[in-house]
Amino acid sequence: MATVGIAGYGAYVPKYRIKADEVARVWGKKGEAVSAGLMVYEKSVPAIDEDTATISVEAARRAVRSSGINPVDIGAVYVGSESHPYAVKPTATIVAEAIRATPDMTAADYEFACKAGTAAIQTCMALVKSGMITYGLAVGADVSQAAPGDALEYAASAGGAAFILGGDHLIAEINHTVSFTTDTPDFWRREGEPYPGHGERFTGEPAYFRHVVSATKKMLEAMDTRPGDYDYVVFHQPNGKFPLRAAKKLGFTKEQVQEGLLCPVIGNTYSGSTPLGLSAVLDVAQPGDRILATSYGSGAGSDSFDLTVTEGIADYPRNHLRRMLENKVYLDYALYMKHRGALK
């Protein structure tokens, strides 16, 4: 079977943040209690002129620049998001044009709640393996929406990451991918509605945990590996607690999760969540490190990936994500509403 893996990656997190404390103050809740309950302390907020397209472009440009890959060799661009700026008109064409990969290529937008980005990675892997393309660009990005006062408002944030998939110049080989998918209506947004609805506690056991745990178990079985065989593990992060609980259920340690756990400081970036977690891990990984990443998208499904970091990582320009995490400006709730109001 032909080798396939990550030839480049790039991440983007907007500069603005709001603290969970500030959201709690407005709604008469105790910030400390909310933060302790969700393990979310602050979240990223897009600038007034940022949306899923601009975040995707910034992440994709970083991936192209860092990898040194000629964008003309990118034969497919897929952007996964649940907050595409247009209902009809692809975000992927904007991204492709902005990295100068057009016109000899294919493109499309994906939507699968929070796992559209990893679905895009799988599609690119298949196209590379089949020989249809040399390189493919997969992006997961969101400027997620939450109804004012809803529990989601403490976490719904903005950010994204882009991956260039290919067969050579790899910084990490993808050894295998598996998925676990069922029809589970735990979270949704109807056409034309500004905010999503969800099934409260139903989003836990039958939704997030069943899919994340099942996909990861399937991966361990398929690869004949044990949790201890991995240096890092990344799970989708709707809050800070769920990925740690999933890790515990599966026998992974807190230390394996820690490096890729960004939700406590940037919130839930939806389609950007697992891709950003994986980017944070790649920022520190060493050649030979083994990574397991499992996404989750409501509705519901999980995609799991088993990766081995290659020698190529040594020369790859890294750590820009850490810089973005540290370079931040806090907004109060009023300014946060202003930032959010300009976006769709």
Instruction: Name the residues that contact another protein, by CB under 8 A.
Output: 15, 47-51, 53-54, 57-58, 61, 85-86, 94, 97-98, 100, 320, 323, 329, 338, 342, 344
Q: Are 89 and 124 in contact (CB under 8 A)?
A: no
Pairing mode, if any, of strands 329-330 and 187-188?
Answer: unpaired
The least CB distance from residue 205 to another protein, in Å, is 39
The least CB distance from residue 319 to another protein, in Å, is 8
Q: Which is nearer to another protein, 83 or 179 (CB)?
A: 83
Q: Which is nearer to another protein, 53 or 170 (CB)?
A: 53
Cβ burial, residue 23 (10 Å; 0-12/13-18/19+): buried
The least CB distance from residue 102 to another protein, in Å, is 10
Q: Count H helices and E strands in the chain, helices first.
A: 12, 14
Q: Which is nearer to another protein, 200 or 315 (CB)?
A: 315
Q: Are 46 and 158 in contact (CB under 8 A)?
A: yes
Whole-Å CA distances, 82 to 272, 323, 341: 10, 26, 17
Pairing mode, if any, of strands 74-80 and 106-110?
Answer: parallel
The least CB distance from residue 15 to another protein, in Å, is 5
The beta strand positions in 259-325, using DSSP E, are 290-294, 299-309
Q: What's the token pair of residue 213?
A: 């745990």
DSSP assignments along 175-211, one per residue: EEEEEEEEEE-SEE--TT-SS-EE-GGGGIIIIIIHH
Please tell me which residue in 82, 124, 198, 263 is annotated as part of the active site.
82
Q: Which is nearer to another protein, 182 or 319 (CB)?
A: 319
The least CB distance from residue 137 to another protein, in Å, is 15
Q: Which is nearer to another protein, 49 or 224 (CB)?
A: 49
The least CB distance from residue 266 to another protein, in Å, is 16
Q: Which is nearer to another protein, 218 or 328 (CB)?
A: 328
Q: Would residue 114 show up in a list of annotated catalytic residues for this protein?
A: yes
Please tell me which residue in 42, 58, 84, 114 is annotated as part of the active site.
114
CA distance 148 to 162: 30
Question: Other CB atoms closer than 10 Å to residue 335's CB: what's the count?
Answer: 15
Cβ burial, residue 21 (10 Å; 0-12/13-18/19+): middle
Please tell me which residue in 153, 236, 259, 339 is annotated as part of the active site.
236
The catalytic residue positions are 82, 114, 236
